[in-house]
Amino acid sequence: MNLMISGHHLEVTPAMRGYVMSKLDRVTRHFDQVVDVRVLLTVDNMKEKEKRQRAECTMHVKGRDLFAESSHADLYAAVDELADKLDRQVGRHKTKVQDHGHVSVKREEA
């Protein structure tokens, strides 16, 4: 898995990098076919202070690209919310991709 973490209008500290990596490990624990992950952490100059910190993630899994974004007053809380969103998306994608063991009608007759 290739992981790229970048910051826009902020310096990505080793602590923040480690926190993002630990949160994304939870997603990869559920689904191991993750090819590429790109995380963008930004601080916007908005008047609304509760939506100033933003985290975006584009995840390329086998057969699909998943995207999620989250805004919050605290960057760590935005990363938490982002990881929850990605976890739900990966779970839905995994159930769609899985073979559920159904036998086709043609094979049942034969």
37: its two tokens:
């992950």
Name the average pLDDT for the chain: 86
Strands (E) located in the chain: 2-8, 34-43, 53-61, 64-72
Domain-wise residue ranges, the chain: 2-99
Question: Which pLDDT tens digit goes with each residue over 20-38?
Answer: 999 988 888 877 788 899 9
Topology adopted by domain 2-99: Double Stranded RNA Binding Domain (3.30.160)
Better pLDDT: 97 or 106: 97
Residue 83 CA to residue 27 CA, distance in Å, equals: 7
Alpha carbon 54 to its chain centroid, in Å, reads: 14
